[in-house]
Every structure is written in structure tokens, then in C-alpha cells.
Amino acid sequence: MKSLIERWRGRLPVTGRTPVVSLGEGGTPLIRADRLARAAGLPPGSVHLKFEGTNPTGSFKDRGMTLAVSKALEAGSRGVLCASTGNTAASAAAYAAKAGLRCVVFLPRGAVARGKLMQAAAHGAEIVDVAGNFDAALRTALRTAERKGLTVVNSSNPFRIEGQKTAAFEVAEAMGRAPDFQFMPVGNAGNITAYWKGYKELGGGRPRIMGFQAAGAAPLVLGHPVKAPRTVATAIRIGDPYSRDGALAARDESGGAIGSVTDSQILAAYRFLAREEGVFCEPASAAGVAGLLKLCRSGRKPRGTVVCVLTGHGLKDPDTAARCIPLRRSRL
């Protein structure tokens, strides 16, 4: 299969001299989800899941990382650095390993799912434990990068957004046109910014973008930063999103909304997707689906086609799975 950069070369800021660092990212499935549609009270065939868990490191971050690391290599960078709730770190570590670059990751202490931590470690990343949340880790990381001359591969790096916008191209290609609505989780707000950029660049129809934050970490809903964000969905436990303006623009320009869902709504959607649709995503990924169910149950049903973006794989966070999913013992 072609690398994401080869596949979308004409729409990405690369030249013939850019060394392509790829692990086979992108080309993720768009899965019809009729049980979810039924649970939401929507017609069969109207709801699809864009499952990003099939990317090489198990999350959508690989789309942006292939470009960010390729461009870092092209620029002669000595290494890459990021702050992360886990997935960015896992992805940066893998692509840096492939490129032969140094990788340093700043992680909020005790708040990164085990699978992600093990991935970063396995790929040889140097880990800095930050006593504080993701927002503190990001501030420290950005300061350190400047001092040490390392390339930041958080979504403050525009190449990350450029790579991630390709997911919108894939959705529109698979459906023959853009969906009417797109539901997705929002954390640091890079991905919602990237999708909206992608849909706009395609021209033609555009979805209303429906972003969902966890209720305990919902700065974009509240309209101010949250000092101590709290949620079971550690990937989106973020109180002061870097790409806040991009998220608000996606919401306002698309005629969409940014809402919040409780941890119990997130976990219910997480279990439903695994049990009823056969798709095991991580808790944060289920926030968009939780948002869809919440809206539909309150009588505000979207009309037309709906895509829910499932950003990462359920295996990333085995501890939450063990805590929240009952083992069914056989009575055979």
C-alpha cells in the first residue's frame, strides 16, 4: 500500500526531496454501523465509523506524524519532542525510531494509559515525567524544545495538521461526498482543526462538525480553561487546548457544535461499540458516539449521513477495559 504522503502528495507540503518516513499509515476503514444507527433512532446505512485504531501505532496521530517526522528529517533536525497524553508520544517514538532520530516525550505523571507508555518505551523514547497535567507538560515541552533545538511534533507543528487533514479526504472518498454530520472527540483540538481544513480544501459539501469533550475537561464548552481537568478518557484530559481557535472556527464555520459528555456516557458508548459493532476503541474515541446518542435521545436527531471518528484502539488502555468491562463467564 502507498504511504499516506505518496497517496496525497499533491495536497501536502512535500517535494521530491522530502525523505518519506512511513509505517503504512492511513487508509483506515469506514465501517457501516447499523446497530448504532438503531440505538440512535436513525435509519440503517446513515451512520459510519471512521476507525483510526488500524493505524500503525493504533491512533490517528500517525497521519500527522509521518509528515512531521519526514519534514524534521528533511530540515536536518537532531530529534523530535512532544508533550502527550500518550498517543502522540507513541506515534512520535515509532516514527522517530524509523527515521533514526532522537525522541523525547513529556508525559503527565500517572495519567497515561499503559499501552501508550509501553509503546513509547519500546520505540526507545526518552521519557520525562511531569508532575502536573498535560497542559503543564505542553508548556514545559515547548520551552525545552527551544532551548535544546529539538523539533516539536505536537499539533503546534503545522505539518501535523496537514497530515491529519487526509482523514477528511478518505471519508469523502469512501462515501462519494462529505457526510452531513461528523461527530468526534476533542482534546487539544488539533484533529477537529485538521478535519475542517481537509473538508474545506476538498470544496463541495461540508459536514457540520460536532465535537465532544469530557464533562470534567470541557474548556471549549465552558468558555474558559479548566485548571484540573478530570475524566476516565485520559487521552482528552486537557484543560487548555492549544488549537482552541481552530476548534471554534470549525464549529462556527460548519454550523456545528461543541458539547460535553459524562464519563458514564463515554463508557456506555465504549462498551456498546465493542459489544454491538465489533469495534474496540479507546474511551476518548467513544466521546463522539456518546455525543451522538445524547443528542438523539434528547430529540435533536441529525438528518442525513453521519460519520463518527474513532480516534484510537481499545488495546491502548487495558486498565480501563479491565475496570469497566465485565468478564462474561461461560456456563457451557
- Which chain residues interact with ligand F0G by CB under 6 A? 59, 61, 84-88, 155, 185-192, 235-236, 282, 284-285, 311-312
**Residues present in the chain in total:** 332
Residue with smaller CB distance to ligand F0G, 9 or 111: 111
The least distance separating ligand F0G from the CB of residue 185, rounded to whole angstroms, comes to 4
List the one residue out of 135, 306, 285 whose CA is nearest residue 214: 285
User: Which residues are within 8 A (CB) of 47 and not within 5 positions of it... i.e. 6 or more apart?
Assistant: 32, 33, 34, 36, 37, 40, 292, 305, 306, 307, 308
DSSP per residue, 62-120 = HHHHHHHHHHHHHTT-SEEEEE-SSHHHHHHHHHHHHHT-EEEEEEETT-S-HHHHHHH
Q: How far apart are CA 10 and CA 180, in angstroms?
A: 26
Question: Measuring CA to CA, which residue among 112, 119, 91, 105 is closest to residue 150?
Answer: 105
Beta-carbon contacts of 83 under 8 Å, excluding residues fewer than 6 positions away, are 105, 106, 107, 130, 134, 137, 138, 140, 141, 142, 154
Distance of closest approach, residue 102 Cβ to ligand F0G, in angstroms: 19
Residue 38, Cα to own-chain centre: how many angstroms? 26
Distance of alpha carbon 205 from alpha carbon 137, whole angstroms: 38
CB 154 → ligand F0G: shortest distance, Å?
A: 8
DSSP 301: P
Q: For residues 12 and 90, give the distance between their C-alpha atoms in angstroms, rounded to a whole number.
A: 23
Cβ at position 140, least distance to ligand F0G in Å: 14
